[in-house]
Amino acid sequence: MSEVQFKNKENNMQINSKKGCVLWLTGLSGAGKSTLAEKLYDYLIENGQKAEHLDGDNVRSIFPKTGFSKEERNNHIKIMGYIASRLENHGVTVIASFISPYKESRELVRQMCSDFLEIYVATSLEECEKRDVKGLYKKARANEIKNFTGIDDPYEKPENPELIIYTENKTVDESLNEIISFIDTRSC
């Protein structure tokens, strides 16, 4: 029994030899976070890195009763931040794409993680509404959805993100290349 435990500890030390990091993409719904995160994930995997993508829509489909009040959103981001920090601890590059509208919850996640890089996907509300592929802004404007970030619930822009990506006048690939260039200069 102790031999098995020793082997597991040894394996964990090997896993931890490669440093992980957390790339936290934040911005309004429709800003391009998920699209960029998916492409970045593919790029990292193709280049032999251990990576994981945590996405707001995908996670909420598994936990549909997460809620959208400020307290519920902060709790949801806290849980996702904890998961990201555990993966990071095992040498995984975590790409997290969450609206995460409140500074306090993003700051809490920053404190949980060893190497947290906040990437603000800065897209104007007007552009996000034009892109509205899910029809969510239209529903929020018609009062069919309450607590919708940017409409009747605030989005607190990051004050000092490690990177800002302006997506409005760029292709997805141009925005992706900015992120790749940025992380190539980091330890991720």
Catalytic residues: 100
Closest CA to 92 of 162, 23, 9: 23
What is the DSSP code (8-state) at residue 149? B
Longest dimension (CA), the chain: 63
CA quadruple 45, 168, 153, 65: dihedral positive or negative? negative
- Neighbour tally for 127: CB within 10 Å: 17
The neighbouring-strand residues paired with 24 are 96, 118
Please give the Cα distance from 159 to 24 (Å, whole number).
14
